[in-house]
Amino acid sequence: MSASRLYKITPYLRQCCSILNLSPARVLERCGLTADFLENEDKGVDATTYFSAWSAYAEESKDPELPLTLGRAASRGPLQPALLAFAASPDIHTGFNRLAIFKPLVAPIRLHLTEDEDAFTVGFESECGQPVPNVMSATEVIFFLDFARTFTAHHIVPKTVQLPHLGHVTPDYQTYVGAPIVQSQIPAITFSMQDARRSLISADTDFYRLIERDLLSKLESVADGIGLAKRVARTLTDLLPSGAVSADQVSARLGISKRTLQRKLKVEGSSFQNILDETRATLAMTYLRDQKLSAEETSYLLAYQDPNSFYRAFHEWTGMTPSQAREMQLS
C-alpha cells in the first residue's frame, strides 16, 4: 500500500458516535485529532489514525455488546457507494467479489475470498501491516452477516466465524451469529455455497452500472501510487489457493479489462506470466518453511493441477527440488 493512502472518516465516525452515544470530541482527542476535525476534514487520515478511531470507540464506550450493537446498526445505513455495489449485486457471492474490489476506497482493509464446492469464505486483514483492532474485527463480522441477512431477507447462519481474539464474543454475540466461533489469525466468516448463491432482493444491474464507473475511477486514482505489477501480485496471492490463476480472473478482481491489464503491465516492463511465476516462487518458499505442508499440498495451493508441473517449475525458479529447498531453509 502507498504510504500516502488516506481515508475519509468523518461520516462513519459521526455514525458510530451516534449509534454508541459517544462524544465525537473525546473520540477525536484519543485519535490525536483536533475537536473541529469533523468540520474541516480535507483528504482524510492515514491507516494508523483510522484504526485508532476504532480503538477509541472501544475505550469510550461502556457497551459490553459494542460489536453487536454497532455492526447491526451500521449495516442498516446510510451506505457508502462501495457497499451499494454489494447491495445491487445479484447474489452474496457476486456482492463480496465486488466489495473486494472497492473496499480499499473506504478502509485500509483487504478482503480475501476463498471457495470450494461447499463453502465461500470472506476473510479480511489490514492493508498496512498493522493488525486490525479486535473490536473492528468482531464488528465487521456482524456487519457482513447482518448485511447478508438484510439483503437476502433470509436468516442466514454461517458455517463458521473466525476471530483473532474472542474477548468480544459474549453470549448474545454467539447467539446472534448462531455458528461456531473459533480463534484464528485472520478474521473471517464462512457461508455455505448455497447461501453464497442466494439472491439479493436489492439486486439492480442498472444501478450498479451507474455507480461502477465512478467507483472504478476513484479506485484508479487512489491506486496511482501503487504499481499495477504489485497489485497483480497481491491479487494472485489471494486467488491462487482457490485455484484461480488466469489473467481474466485477476483483471476481474482488479476491476479492469484483461486488455487494460496486459497493456499497463507492458508499460511497467512486466507481464502477467512473469508476475505469476514470481508470486508462485515466493509463496512456494514460504509454504516449504512450514513442515506441515508437503510438496503436493504446496502445488495445490499454487493452483497447479499436476504436482509434476510444480516440481519442474520450482526447479526452473531455484535450481533445487522442493525437498532440497526445505532442507536449506531448516539448516
110: helix, coil or strand? strand
- CA–CA distance, 6 with 25 (Å, rounded to integer): 21
pLDDT at 145 exceeding the cut of 60: yes
Which of 45, 15, 43 is CA-nearest to residue 32? Answer: 45
- Residue 313's pLDDT band, with cuts at 50, 70 and 90, is confident
Averaged pLDDT, 222-236: 74
pLDDT at 1: 39
pLDDT at 140 exceeding the cut of 90: yes
Question: Mutual orientation of helices 47-60 and 134-152 as an angle, nearest 10°?
Answer: 90
pLDDT at 55: 92
Q: Residues 6 or more apart from 128 whose CB is under 8 A from it?
A: 1, 5, 47, 48, 108
What CATH code would you report for 81-196? 3.30.980
pLDDT at 323 exceeding the cut of 70: yes
Q: Which CATH number fits domain 227-331: 3.90.1150.10, 3.30.70.20, 1.10.110.30, 1.10.10.60?
A: 1.10.10.60
| Joined grid coordinates for residue 326 | 526445505
**46-50, 250-254, 307-311: range with highest mean pLDDT:** 46-50
Averaged pLDDT, 133-161: 95
